[in-house]
């Protein structure tokens, strides 16, 4: 099948290896990957800040550019939720409501796409490390994406998964929140890093590079022995 | 317009815009029962559940074969606890038990002096029901001698009949509507264990304001 | 920035770094979570219960006028005096006039956040009455001259040592820091007050339309005594506390107990329908119910957020909120904190002044997930942000987002942004983490990842 990738702005600029891993994985499975030349931002910052007109201006281009895509895959729970869930609210009552509905129906977060749409859990990957998994809040609560990442990690050779306790706490990124309320975001990050350290895992894996940016950012500054990696990169490892 | 009329006008105005939401209508008791904690269908199961709940709540629950056995137990309790004055009301069972103790008895039925009640070591009341699902005692002003009798004295002793055990909260609420539907008592209370608080470091302490001890005796 | 917003930011900054505070709250919440989860597991279908509760409150709120009418009529039929207060000031005046008429001296209160909302205690004390909070947690914060810290656990932030010192200073009675001993001190003091008090003031957790009763949930028995001994009883209740039927309590009392404190049922759940009736042994001669609007009808009029009126004040959303856990209850600077407080305060007290509470959230959604009546809490925070931006747009943000919209989804502009990001990174290096750093909000405490030497799009383009 032809898979259209929506690569979020921060992955494009700062974590290209995530996008590259996704491409390699889909091509290995025999699918054709398409990356539209234009779209880079789903409009979430404007949307979260309450500037919905401006968010719509950003998002309407995404709607148009992904209009003819068969399947859209997003390697981010946060941006995935924006396209799949929040676009409906953003475009409700506008001429683009129908397009938004259609896009939502054919958009999938990366891990959920592999498991639910392609029916694949074993990618022949090997990653012989002890890891813990961080559930990004949007992926967890807006997309109900608890199981697919774990089903995929279970098939990675040599990988040992240890769950964090408490298991589903926000890392403190929250998009614009982490810049508008840095003190609180830092405190939340401290809580998350403490949970990670308790697992004694070598890596924190997540479907969200934005969360990993927060966790790694704090961990590096405090010189904590924490390494972060996106699920796609683990699945592309051999 | 009066304040009342203003408020109702604002409500009408507000509700003229329809909301989207959980519009499935008010749930039936059957629907409630399908989600609430299970209770067990037999009397034996429900009794066992009540017993377990009472123990978890630190309420003292005992069952007796006869009224005279129950009375002896209360006499013993009176001696062990060192009661010097107790209070009760005009319930047949409660009255009989209270009189058999050999200590001064304050009867709250018809009215009483509150400082006298405050000086009592225990309050003996009847009840409307025991609730298996939660380990609760259901009392009203009419079944338990007013509002304060079951709450002011530091030890509350409840006398219940076996037939008064009901399965769950919905059943107890239905009982209230059947028994009092024409004219409800001004106070109805579900008592679930002795008085407690966790306000200091979430450490459980019994006897915050209400009774420190709750004894439930069934015959 | 408004004054409340500035206060929030300052206090949030301080509390977020306060490890001692963080530890106390973490311990308290940890205990709660264990029992809450045990009790939820005891339900046959917890998610099903939430749906039933949501349906009940949807019906209640969307037929509010009809239910209130029935409730008031049934209360009055049994001799209750029903009052209507459009504003907090009106409610205060109604209550003060009752106190005046009764020539009261001592007022005993059971826990009511609604009375906090209208600053009732302050008004009564100013008017010369002795006011005693009877709930242990409220009693403690009253002695400290503080607002309650949390909807359900007013003194959650205090250690036993602090409470011992408080009792020693204010009551000259503090035998030890043992919670049992301290509780007994409060019991002794309050016992006298129940007997002395002329007036007992309560709140209500629910108001049952079908049978004309108000329902009070508590563990300590202090509300029972407040409603039993004084000659006059006054209940202050928000108009939204309606439940349509007595049977609805069969669902709501257990759910409130589970989410409020991890209990199967709270110690005392009591329904009051009138003053002492003929044939009853005791009870207040007069029973007054004061129904309070105070902008609840404004929230009702917001069809999008109307479900927030279904809140049963269990505090569960506060307990799961990572922001609440880090900044604490007092930082919100208003009666209702946590997620529900952040949602409703703009409606109760003004959007411009209180929108910042809706901003101070990572939108993790844990609140929405936990709410027993399925209020769309974090979505409402987003809506408050939208409403705030529409009413009072920030010129800077609006322009920035407009600019970004124009450039972000255009291939050529995006390529330029990519170059600028690399240049910016180089320029940022020398001023990183200092006051000059434009990214200092982040870099003050966290490292930023480098902009990639080759962006994904550049890699993809090369591939072609």
pLDDT of B162 higher than 90: yes
| Ranges in chain C, pLDDT < 50 | none
Q: DSSP secondary-structure letter at B166?
A: E
User: Cβ–Cβ of C360/A23 closer than 8 Å?
Assistant: no
Residue B82 near chain C (CB below 8 Å): no
User: Cβ–Cβ of B37/C43 closer than 8 Å?
Assistant: yes
pLDDT at A40: 73
Please give the structure tokens belonging to residue B199: 């306000």
Would you give the distance in Å from CA C199 to the centre of its chain?
A: 26
User: Under a CB-based contact definition with an 8 Å cutoff, are residues C245 and C74 in contact?
Assistant: no
Tens-place pLDDT, residues B92-128: 999 999 999 999 999 999 999 999 999 999 999 999 9
Please give the structure tokens belonging to residue A75: 């390697």
pLDDT at C73: 98
| Cα–Cα distance for residue pair A113/A109, rounded to 1 Å | 6
Please give the structure tokens belonging to residue C133: 């909070």
- For B145-195, strand residue ranges (E) read 155-160, 165-166, 187-191
**CA triplet C109, B185, C95: central angle to 5 degrees?**
30
**Residue boundaries of the structural domains of chain B:** 48-218
User: Cβ–Cβ of C456/A188 closer than 8 Å?
Assistant: no
pLDDT at A149: 98
Q: DSSP secondary-structure letter at B109?
A: T
Q: DSSP secondary-structure letter at A138?
A: I
Nearest to B200 among C179, C195, C239 (CB): C179
β B136-140/B187-191 pair status: antiparallel
**Confidence band, pLDDT 50/70/90 cuts, at residue B48:** very high
Which residue's entry shows tokens 């007992």? Answer: C200
User: Cβ–Cβ of A173/C387 closer than 8 Å?
Assistant: no
User: Under a CB-based contact definition with an 8 Å cutoff, are residues C260 and B187 in contact?
Assistant: no
Tens-place pLDDT, residues A199-228: 999 999 999 999 999 999 999 999 999 999
Residue B80 near chain C (CB below 8 Å): no
| Cα–Cα distance for residue pair C7/A214, rounded to 1 Å | 26
Which residue's entry shows tokens 């005009």? Answer: B90
| Cα–Cα distance for residue pair C250/C253, rounded to 1 Å | 6
Burial profile A102-120: b = 16 or more Cβ within 10 angstroms, e = fewer: ebbebbbbbbbbbbeebeb
**CA triplet C220, C226, C232: central angle to 5 degrees?**
170
- Chain A residues inside the 8 Å CB shell of C395: none
CB atoms within 10 A of CB C74: 20
User: Cβ–Cβ of A41/C385 closer than 8 Å?
Assistant: no
| Cα–Cα distance for residue pair C415/C418, rounded to 1 Å | 5
Burial profile B70-96: b = 16 or more Cβ within 10 angstroms, e = fewer: bbebbeebbeebebeebbbbebebbbe
- Chain B residues inside the 8 Å CB shell of C32: 202
User: Under a CB-based contact definition with an 8 Å cutoff, are residues C275 and C233 in contact?
Assistant: yes
Strand order in the sheet with B187-191: B165-166, B129-131, B136-140, B187-191, C268-272, C213-218, C206-208, C242-243
Residue B112 near chain C (CB below 8 Å): yes
pLDDT at B1: 72
- The radius of gyration of chain A from alpha carbons, rounded to an integer in Å, stands at 17
CA-nearest residue of chain A to C419? A13
| Cα–Cα distance for residue pair C90/C294, rounded to 1 Å | 9
Would you give the distance in Å from CA B95 to the centre of its chain?
A: 18
Where residue A213 sits, what CATH number does that domain have? 3.40.50
User: Under a CB-based contact definition with an 8 Å cutoff, are residues C451 and C425 in contact?
Assistant: yes
Interface test with C, best of B209, B210, B211, B213 (most C CBs within 10 A): B209
pLDDT at B182: 84
Nearest to A50 among C33, C368, C386 (CB): C386
Q: Kindly report the CATH class assigned to C66-239+264-294.
A: alpha beta
Whether residue A140 is contained in a domain is answered as: yes
Q: For a pLDDT cut of 90, what percent of chain B falls above it?
A: 98
Nearest to A137 among C327, C364, C384 (CB): C364
- Chain A residues inside the 8 Å CB shell of C327: 184
Q: What angle, rounded to 10 degrees, do the helices at C179-196 and C136-144 form? A: 90
Interface B:C, ≥3 CB–CB pairs < 8 Å:
yes
Question: Which is it for the CA torsion C356, C361, C365, C367, positive or negative?
Answer: negative
β B155-160/B213-218 pair status: parallel
pLDDT at C430: 82
- Chain C residues inside the 8 Å CB shell of B178: none
CA distance A69 to chain C (A): 16
Most distant CA atoms of chain C, gap in Å: 92
Whether residue A143 is contained in a domain is answered as: yes
| Cα–Cα distance for residue pair A46/C402, rounded to 1 Å | 9
CB atoms within 10 A of CB B162: 12
Compute the mean pLDDT over every residue in chain A, rounded to the nearest whole number. Answer: 96
β C213-218/C268-272 pair status: antiparallel
User: Under a CB-based contact definition with an 8 Å cutoff, are residues A10 and A75 in contact?
Assistant: no
User: Cβ–Cβ of C55/B173 closer than 8 Å?
Assistant: no
- Chain C residues inside the 8 Å CB shell of A51: 389, 393, 397-398, 401
How many cross-chain Cβ pairs, A to C, lie less than 8 Å apart?
195
Q: Name the pTM for this structure.
A: 0.96
**A13 membership: H or E segment, kind and range:** helix A9-14
Q: What angle, rounded to 10 degrees, do the helices at B169-180 and C249-261 form? A: 140
User: Under a CB-based contact definition with an 8 Å cutoff, are residues C123 and C85 in contact?
Assistant: no
Backbone angles phi, psi at C51, to 5 degrees: -65, -40
Considering the segment(s) B48-218 as one domain, its CATH architecture is 3-Layer(aba) Sandwich (3.40)
Whether residue A174 is contained in a domain is answered as: yes
**Residue boundaries of the structural domains of chain C:** 66-239+264-294, 410-463
pLDDT at C412: 83
User: Cβ–Cβ of A13/C455 closer than 8 Å?
Assistant: yes
Please give the structure tokens belonging to residue B190: 């579900």
Tens-place pLDDT, residues A144-166: 999 999 999 999 999 999 999 99
Tens-place pLDDT, residues A4-17: 999 999 999 999 99
- In the stretch 164-193 of chain B, residues with CB closer than 8 A to chain C read 168-170, 173-174, 176-177, 183-193
CA distance A226 to chain C (A): 13
Nearest to B186 among C69, C194, C273 (CB): C273
Backbone angles phi, psi at C291, to 5 degrees: -85, 130
Tens-place pLDDT, residues B15-37: 999 999 999 999 999 999 999 99
User: Under a CB-based contact definition with an 8 Å cutoff, are residues C11 and C157 in contact?
Assistant: no
| Cα–Cα distance for residue pair A204/A225, rounded to 1 Å | 11
Burial of A128: CB neighbours in 10 Å, binned 0-12, 13-18, 19+: exposed
β C286-292/C81-85 pair status: parallel
- Chain C residues inside the 8 Å CB shell of B95: none
- The last residue of one of the domains, among A71, A88, A117, is A117
* Alpha carbon distances (Å) from A75 to A4, A11, B47: 11, 9, 56
User: Cβ–Cβ of C386/A141 closer than 8 Å?
Assistant: no
- Per DSSP, the residues of B15-34 read HTSPPPS--S-SPPHHHHHH
Task: Output the 3-class SS for chain C.
Answer: CCHHHHHHHHHHHHHHCCHHHHHHHHHHHHHHHHHHHHHHHHCCCHHHHHHHHHHHHHHHHHCHHHHHHHHHHHHHHCCCEEEEECCHHHHHHHHHHHHHHCCCCEEEECCCHHHHHCCHHHHHHHCCCEEEECCHHHHHHHHHCCCCCCCCCCCCCCCHHHHHHHHHHHHCCCCCCCHHHHHHHHHHHHHHHHHHCCEEEECCCEEECCCCEEEEEECCCHHHHHCCCCCEEEEEEEHHHEECCHHHHHHHHHHHHHHHHCCCCCCEEEEECCCCCCCCCCCCCEEEEEEECCCHHHHHHCCCCHHHHHCCCCCHHHHHCHHHHHHCHHHHCCCCCHHHHHHHHHHHHCHHHHCHHHHCCCCCCHHHHHCCCCCCHHHHHHHHHHHHHHHCCCHHHHHHHHHHHHHHCCHHHHHHHHHHHHHHHHHHHHHCCCCCCCCHHHHCCCCCCCCCCCCHHHHHHHHC
CA distance C287 to chain B (A): 10
Backbone angles phi, psi at C352, to 5 degrees: -60, -45
Does residue A113 sit in the same domain as residue A152? no
Which of A126 and A39 is assigned the larger pLDDT? A126
Report chain B's terminal Cα–Cα distance, integer Å: 58
* Alpha carbon distances (Å) from A194 to A73, A166, A188, C247, C448: 32, 10, 10, 46, 20
Whether residue A123 is contained in a domain is answered as: no
pLDDT at C437: 80
User: Under a CB-based contact definition with an 8 Å cutoff, are residues B141 and C281 in contact?
Assistant: yes
CA distance B55 to chain C (A): 13
Nearest to B184 among C58, C211, C269 (CB): C211
pLDDT at B203: 92
Interface test with A, best of C456, C458, C462, C464 (most A CBs within 10 A): C456
Tens-place pLDDT, residues B181-203: 889 999 999 999 999 999 999 99
| Cα–Cα distance for residue pair A19/B39, rounded to 1 Å | 54
- Chain A residues inside the 8 Å CB shell of C1: none
- Chain B residues inside the 8 Å CB shell of C287: 186
Does residue A92 sit in the same domain as residue A163? no
Please give the structure tokens belonging to residue C172: 């000259």
CA distance A94 to chain C (A): 16
User: Domain residues for A74?
Assistant: 2-117
């Amino acid at each position: 099948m032809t898979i259209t990738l929506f690569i979020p702005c921060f992955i494009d600029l700062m974590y290209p290896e995530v996008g590259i891993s996704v491409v390699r994985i889909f091509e290995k499975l025999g699918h054709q990957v398409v990356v539209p030349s234009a779209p880079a931002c789903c409009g979430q910052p404007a949307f979260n800040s309450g500037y919905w007109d401006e968010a719509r201006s950003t998002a309407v281009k995404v709607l148009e550019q992904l209009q003819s895509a068969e399947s859209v895959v997003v390697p981010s729970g946060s941006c995935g939720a924006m396209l799949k869930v929040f676009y409906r609210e953003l475009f409700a009552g506008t001429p683009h409501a129908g397009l938004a509905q259609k896009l939502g129906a054919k958009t999938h977060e990366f891990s959920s796409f592999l498991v639910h749409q392609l029916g694949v859990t074993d990618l022949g990957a090997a990653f012989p490390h002890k890891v813990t998994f961080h559930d990004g809040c949007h992926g967890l609560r807006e997309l109900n994406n608890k199981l697919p990442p774990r089903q995929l990690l279970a098939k990675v050779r040599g990988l040992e998964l240890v769950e964090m306790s408490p298991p589903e706490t926000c890392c403190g990124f929250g998009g614009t929140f982490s810049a508008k309320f840095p003190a609180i975001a830092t405190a939340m990050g401290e809580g998350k890093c403490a949970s990670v350290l308790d697992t004694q895992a070598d890596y924190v894996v997540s479907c969200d590079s934005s969360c990993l940016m927060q966790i790694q950012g704090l961990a590096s500054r405090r010189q904590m022995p924490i390494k972060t990696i996106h699920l796609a990169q683990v699945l592309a490892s051999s | 317009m009066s304040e009342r009329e203003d408020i109702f006008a604002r409500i009408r105005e507000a509700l003229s815009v329809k909301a989207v939401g959980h519009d499935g209508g008010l749930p039936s008791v059957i629907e409630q029962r399908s989600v609430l904690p299970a209770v067990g269908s037999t009397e034996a199961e429900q009794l066992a559940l009540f017993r377990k709940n009472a123990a978890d709540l630190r309420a003292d629950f005992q069952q007796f074969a006869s009224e005279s056995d129950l009375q002896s137990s209360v006499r013993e309790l009176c001696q062990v606890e060192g009661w010097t004055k107790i209070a009760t009301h005009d319930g047949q069972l409660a009255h009989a038990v209270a009189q058999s103790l050999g200590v001064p008895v304050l009867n709250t039925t018809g009215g009483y002096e509150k400082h006298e009640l405050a000086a009592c070591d225990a309050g003996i009341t009847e009840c409307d029901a025991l609730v298996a699902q939660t380990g609760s005692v259901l009392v009203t002003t009419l079944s338990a001698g007013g509002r304060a009798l079951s709450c002011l004295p530091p030890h509350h002793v409840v006398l219940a009949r076996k037939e008064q055990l009901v399965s769950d909260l919905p059943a107890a609420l239905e009982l209230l509507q059947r028994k009092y539907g024409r004219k409800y008592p001004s106070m109805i209370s579900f008592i679930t264990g002795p008085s407690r608080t966790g306000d200091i470091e979430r450490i459980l302490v019994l006897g915050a304001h209400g009774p420190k001890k709750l004894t439930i005796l069934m015959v | 920035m408004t004054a409340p917003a500035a206060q929030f930011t300052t206090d949030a900054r301080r509390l977020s770094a306060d490890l001692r505070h963080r530890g106390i709250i973490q311990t308290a919440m940890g205990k709660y979570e264990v029992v809450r989860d045990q009790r939820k597991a005891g339900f046959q279908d917890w998610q099903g219960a939430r749906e039933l509760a949501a349906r009940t409150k949807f019906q209640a709120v969307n037929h509010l006028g009809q239910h209130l009418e029935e409730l008031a009529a049934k209360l009055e039929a049994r001799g209750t005096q029903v009052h209507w207060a459009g504003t907090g000031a009106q409610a205060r005046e109604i209550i003060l006039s009752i106190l005046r008429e009764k020539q009261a001296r001592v007022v005993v209160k059971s826990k009511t956040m609604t009375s906090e909302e209208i600053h009732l205690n302050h008004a009564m004390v100013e008017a010369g009455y002795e006011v005693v909070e009877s709930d242990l947690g409220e009693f403690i914060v009253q002695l400290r001259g503080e607002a309650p810290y949390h909807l359900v656990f007013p003194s959650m932030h205090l250690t036993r040592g602090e409470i011992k010192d408080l009792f020693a200073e204010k009551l000259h009675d503090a035998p030890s820091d043992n919670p049992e001993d301290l509780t007994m001190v409060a019991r002794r003091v309050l016992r006298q007050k129940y007997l002395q008090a002329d007036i007992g003031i309560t709140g209500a957790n629910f108001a049952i339309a079908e049978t004309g009763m108000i329902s009070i949930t508590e563990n300590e028995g202090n509300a029972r005594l407040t409603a039993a001994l004084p000659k006059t009883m006054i209940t202050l209740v928000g108009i939204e506390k309606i439940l349509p039927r007595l049977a609805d309590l069969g669902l709501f009392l257990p759910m409130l107990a589970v989410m409020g404190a991890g209990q199967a049922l709270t110690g005392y759940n009591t329904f009051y329908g009138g003053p002492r009736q003929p044939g009853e042994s005791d009870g207040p001669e007069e029973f007054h119910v004061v129904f309070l609007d105070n902008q609840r009808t404004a929230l009702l009029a917001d069809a999008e957020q109307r479900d927030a009126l279904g809140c049963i004040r269990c505090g569960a959303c506060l307990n799961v909120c990572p922001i609440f856990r880090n900044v604490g209850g007092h930082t919100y600077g208003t009666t209702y904190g946590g997620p529900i407080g952040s949602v409703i305060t703009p409606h109760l007290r003004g959007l411009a002044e209180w929108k910042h509470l809706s901003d101070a959230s990572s939108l993790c959604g844990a609140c929405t997930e936990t709410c027993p009546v399925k209020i769309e809490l974090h979505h409402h925070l987003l809506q408050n942000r939208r409403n705030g931006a529409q009413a009072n747009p920030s010129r800077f943000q609006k322009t920035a987002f407009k600019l970004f919209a124009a450039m972000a989804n255009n291939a050529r502009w995006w390529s330029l942004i990519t170059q600028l990001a690399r240049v910016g990174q180089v320029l940022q290096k020398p001023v990183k983490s200092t006051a000059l750093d434009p990214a200092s909000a982040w870099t003050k405490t966290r490292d930023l990842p480098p902009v990639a030497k080759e962006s994904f799009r550049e890699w993809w383009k090369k591939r072609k």
